[in-house]
């Protein structure tokens, strides 16, 4: 008898375990989904599941006799009610779409209004004296560069701005006001094409010379080591103070031109192919005509102070993405 009880107990445990395993479904993580997409998908699934459960419960509580005895006037009234609900639902959906479109337009208009005019001038580009021993060989030799007047973004392009134009947010560290990241140089070109189509303007990435001129403060330069200060923590999010993440744009102090985060937060793509410097003076240089690597500038939340200097240069292939790679627009 004891053996029989043991066998019965083992069989029952096997059935319970099998049933539990049948109910268990490991969670799946959508690839590349933005927070809004994931949230919407979750709400739809939740509503659908609740609706099906509710219908089953109602079906169980009602019988066919009750349905047959329902007065015809009540049926017509129900139909009228459903029709009214559908009309209201359609109207609400239309209002919601209009509101979404208006919000996108507001974001794009704000992006356009946040372009800062930079008066052209001549400056010394590269490893100038304030950079000291932190300068890399790629920043040498110093050379005189003249740039024409242009405009540049007060802030790095934010995630809400990218999403308003592209319809999606590729960033790893989510936040509407954080800089967009995980974007390649090629992605930036597509973003700029769509933005120009929407605005009728000629946005572009800054040249490397324009970027450094602006980071140094243009004609108002105080010859700081970093963009706006010799104390990096006052103007930048970098590895010592970032908490290993990006931060909303514009929280640190600006440089002499009123530009934010030109040191730190995310690296910023430039238009140029990478090339060695020449000691000869240049006007509006655009880099080599071809190459393998595009230039990025400014350092990021993940980098040390040496990489966040105004003369520091770094390179990536145009198709690479990273959670420390973003952009700033020029015009």
Token digits for 31? 């690839």
Q: Give the pLDDT of residue 93.
A: 65
Pairing between strand 282-283 and 143-147? parallel
In this structure, what are the phi and psi dihedrals at residue 124, rounded to the nearest 5 degrees?
-95, 120
**pLDDT at res. 287:** 97
123 backbone dihedrals φ, ψ, rounded to 5°: -145, 165
Q: Rounded to whole angstroms, what are the CA distances from 162 to 105, 183, 190, 203?
A: 12, 10, 11, 14
**What's the Cα-to-Cα distance from 210 to each of 31, 70, 79, 85, 223, rounded to whole Å?**
37, 77, 66, 57, 16
Q: What pLDDT sits at residue 85? A: 61
- Token match 């627009």: residue? 329
CA dist 189 → 173, 226, 237, 238 (Å): 22, 27, 26, 27
Q: Can you tell me which residue has the tokens 């009880």?
A: 5
Local confidence pLDDT in tens for the 331 residues of the chain: 444 444 444 444 443 333 333 332 233 323 333 323 333 333 333 333 333 333 333 333 444 444 444 444 444 445 555 555 666 666 666 677 788 889 999 999 999 999 999 999 999 999 999 999 999 999 999 999 999 999 999 999 999 999 999 999 999 999 999 999 999 999 999 999 999 999 999 999 999 999 999 999 999 999 999 999 999 999 999 999 999 999 999 999 999 999 999 999 999 999 999 999 999 999 999 999 999 999 999 999 999 999 999 999 999 999 999 999 999 999 9
Q: How far apart are CA 305 and CA 230, in angstroms?
A: 11
CA atoms of 79 and 85, how far apart (whole Å): 10
Cα(211)–Cα(169) distance, rounded to whole angstroms? 25
- Closest to 317 measured CA to CA, from 196, 187, 198: 187
- Rounded CA separation 325/295 (Å): 11
Tell which CATH architecture fits domain 104-326: Alpha-Beta Complex (3.90)
Q: What does the CA dihedral 137, 315, 156, 254 come to, rounded to 10 degrees?
A: -10
């Amino acid at each position: 008898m004891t053996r029989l009880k043991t066998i019965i107990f083992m069989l029952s445990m096997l059935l319970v375990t099998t049933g539990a395993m049948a109910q268990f479904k490991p969670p799946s993580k959508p690839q590349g989904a933005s927070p809004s997409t994931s949230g919407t998908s979750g709400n739809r699934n939740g509503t659908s599941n609740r609706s099906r459960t509710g219908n089953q419960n109602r079906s169980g509580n009602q019988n066919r006799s009750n349905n047959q005895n329902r007065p015809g006037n009540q049926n017509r009234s129900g139909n009228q009610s459903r029709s009214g609900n559908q009309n209201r639902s359609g109207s609400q959906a239309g209002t919601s779409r209009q509101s979404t479109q208006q919000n996108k337009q507001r974001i794009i208009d704000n992006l356009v209004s946040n372009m800062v005019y930079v008066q052209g001038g001549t400056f010394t580009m590269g490893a100038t004296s304030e950079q000291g021993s932190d300068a890399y060989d790629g920043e040498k030799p110093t050379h005189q560069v003249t740039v024409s007047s242009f405009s540049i973004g007060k802030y790095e392009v934010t995630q809400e701005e990218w999403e308003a134009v592209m319809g999606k947010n590729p960033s790893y560290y989510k936040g509407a006001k954080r800089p967009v990241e995980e974007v390649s140089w090629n992605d930036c070109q597509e973003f700029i094409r769509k933005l120009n189509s929407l605005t009728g303007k000629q946005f572009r990435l800054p040249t490397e010379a324009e970027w450094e001129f602006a980071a140094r403060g243009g004609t108002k330069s105080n010859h700081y080591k970093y963009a706006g200060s010799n104390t990096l923590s006052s103007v930048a999010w970098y590895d010592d103070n970032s908490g290993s993440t990006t931060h909303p744009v514009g929280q640190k102090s600006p440089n002499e031109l009123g530009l934010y985060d030109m040191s730190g937060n995310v690296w910023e793509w430039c238009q140029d192919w990478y090339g060695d410097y020449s000691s000869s003076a240049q006007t509006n240089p655009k880099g080599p005509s071809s190459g393998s690597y595009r230039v990025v500038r400014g350092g990021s939340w993940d980098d040390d102070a040496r990489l966040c200097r105004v003369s520091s240069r770094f390179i990536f292939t145009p198709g690479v993405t990273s959670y420390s790679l973003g952009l700033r627009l020029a015009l």
